Structure 1
Amino acid sequence: MPTISPEPERAPVGEVHQQRAVARSFGVDATRYDRARPRYPDALVHRILDLVAAAGPPRVLDVGCGTGIVARQFLDAGCDVLGVEPDPRMADLARRSKITVEEAAFEDWDPAGRTYDAVVAGQAWHWVDPVAGAARAARALRPGGLLAPFWNAFELPPDLADAVTEVCRRALPDAPFDVRALGRGTADGYGTLLSGAVDGIRATGAFEEPQQWRHDWELTYTCDAWLDQLPTQGAFTRLPAPALAAVLEGVGAAVDARGGRFTMRYATVAVTARARSDG
């Protein structure tokens, strides 16, 4: 799992964590979200736990745990996991998988004297105030504990990316965002997420210098599997039904035109920072 450049390219996205309506929209169909969203490489989980090097079962706090995708992976690795999730619909589904969840925005969550070996966040840290969130994580970590936010960034095959861009341009002529980004995927924008996390961590003065790394992998989607995931993405969760139907019809036709399946390139990108042990 290679380390990535310490100064990734920045791209202006505004204060993403303030877009609360988008952040709270993923619970509209929590079951679909849990079913369709990709998991994270086992190498990611093992690298985090290797860095933690806990004496007993690692105590892990999962920020923005959603339906429990990340929490289950750490549970399967032998950890004790607590999730923090502001959306009761997502939290309820996580609890059905026997995950303990406390409902709160992480900036407002009270650790109540509890400490953890690792604070992790999968596909969620950009919805948290980067400075207030890092400061809250520092309160919850034992000295030397690890903060590790991470994301799955995807890149569509170029021909399919062009087709998706054209579909979204036709279906969403008044979209308040650049529809070209929907075709490109998220791989080009990961530097922004990492930069925001790094800046927030540094601002607290509570952590050692953050490290950044990535793990590249691939996943083959059938047309049905990709159309199942597409409505769980933030650009589509609040679309009116007719607009979403037009997007799904057009994207489905584009995938069918290339044989009904395609291989997606993913990069799981992460920031890790160790809580200072010198107070």
Structure 2
Amino acid sequence: MDTMDWIKQSKSFNKAADYYDVFRPSYPSEVIDCVEANTSLHAASKILEIGAGSGKATELFLNRGYELLCVEPGPQLAEIGVQKHKHNKVQYVVTRFEDWEEPRKGNDLVFSAQAFHWVPQPEGYKKCAEVLQPNGHLALFWNFYLCGESKLDKEIAELCKQYHAFTISSKEEIDERINRTSAEISNSGYFEAPSTYQFPWSHQEDVDSFIGFLNTTSSFLVLSESEQNKFIAELKLLFSTNGGVVSRYYICCLFITSRKLK
């Protein structure tokens, strides 16, 4: 993918801001438990979030009393986050992390949920290291979308693959991505080898909710209208064979690392 396609895809999230806030899944609370257990967070910690979106992961930290500074390039997403969390201790900076000209330094924790793969590397890791205090931590986590074992699960995954609309992965594919991400962090030169933690979870979803979710994914949004319509028609047919509801499976993987001290 060339640079312009990459930028176009990353900007698609802002255009789908309302869908994003309603249909994007959150994350297991155990992820925040794990971050707290493996870092030195305290009530006055300085926490920076990269790619906050409308504040899905933000909310999990705010609910525990932390104060957050959120970096989000999409103005519509940022506005939803500001309004949704206006009674909490949160501020938004509307810019891409790599373009942030005067970043706040001395942070105890920098974290990113479902977004760090949009940050160019190695500049992203370098900037994270620069804005952390010497004993600070970087926490990155993603919901990886796992294919279930049923015939219907596999048919839905294959249909998504056929239209290049969305990727639902096998456990082996997810493990490979986890290994690649761990190696990328280690090889960045700015951080120690990360500790990794996996949190499987699932929920049931009807076809309208799944289509709403697809409207938050960059690969679906860049399809032509005719391709989207054909894909949705076939998707509805598959869902109808199971009473209109399917189980969605996830593995939320958390990577925690500390600055490499020179």
The code of the aligned residue for 1:100 comes to: Q
CA distance in 1, matches of 2:19, 2:154: 26
- How far 1:140 sits from its partner (Å)? 1.3
User: What TM-score, normalized to structure 1?
Assistant: 0.81
CA distance in 2, matches of 1:132, 1:35: 32
Residue by residue over 1:185-212, the C-alpha shift from the partner in whole angstroms, topping out at 9 and shown as x without a partner, is 4755434544454344334433232222
Residue by residue over 1:202-255, the C-alpha shift from the partner in whole angstroms, topping out at 9 and shown as x without a partner, is 344332322222111111112222122122122201222222122122112211
Pick the aligned partner of 1:226 from 189, 210, 215. 210
CA distance in 1, matches of 2:171, 2:105: 36
Structure 1 unaligned residues grouped into runs of 5+ = 1-13
CA distance in 1, matches of 2:158, 2:187: 41
CA distance in 1, matches of 2:10, 2:42: 36
Partner of 1:266: 250
CA RMSD for the aligned pairs? 2.7
Q: Does 1:250 align with 2:238?
A: no
Contact 1:61 1:119 in 2 (8 A): yes
Pick the aligned partner of 1:239 from 223, 232, 239. 223
Pick the aligned partner of 2:64 from 77, 97, 106. 77
Structure 1 segment 54-93 matched on structure 2, within 5 A: 54-93=41-80
Contact 1:60 1:116 in 2 (8 A): yes
Contact 1:17 1:127 in 2 (8 A): no
Q: How many residue pairs end up in the alignment?
A: 257
CA distance in 2, matches of 1:94, 1:108: 20
Mean Cα deviation higher: 250-259 or 204-213: 204-213
Pick the aligned partner of 1:100 from 70, 74, 91. 91
CA distance in 2, matches of 1:138, 1:127: 17
Partner of 1:155: 146
Task: Classify the secondary structure of the residue corresponding to 2:53.
Answer: coil
Task: Classify the secondary structure of the residue corresponding to 1:153.
Answer: strand
Partner of 1:48: 35
Structure 2 unaligned residues grouped into runs of 5+ = none
Identity, % of aligned positions: 24
CA distance in 1, matches of 2:8, 2:243: 37
Contact 2:147 2:170 in 1 (8 A): no
Contact 1:64 1:121 in 2 (8 A): yes
- How far 1:133 sits from its partner (Å)? 0.8
Mean Cα deviation higher: 156-165 or 215-224: 156-165
Residue by residue over 1:245-268, the C-alpha shift from the partner in whole angstroms, topping out at 9 and shown as x without a partner, is 221221122112112112122100
The code of the aligned residue for 1:129 comes to: P
User: What TM-score, normalized to structure 2?
Assistant: 0.86
CA distance in 2, matches of 1:203, 1:237: 33
Partner of 1:120: 111
Contact 1:187 1:266 in 2 (8 A): no
Contact 2:54 2:78 in 1 (8 A): yes
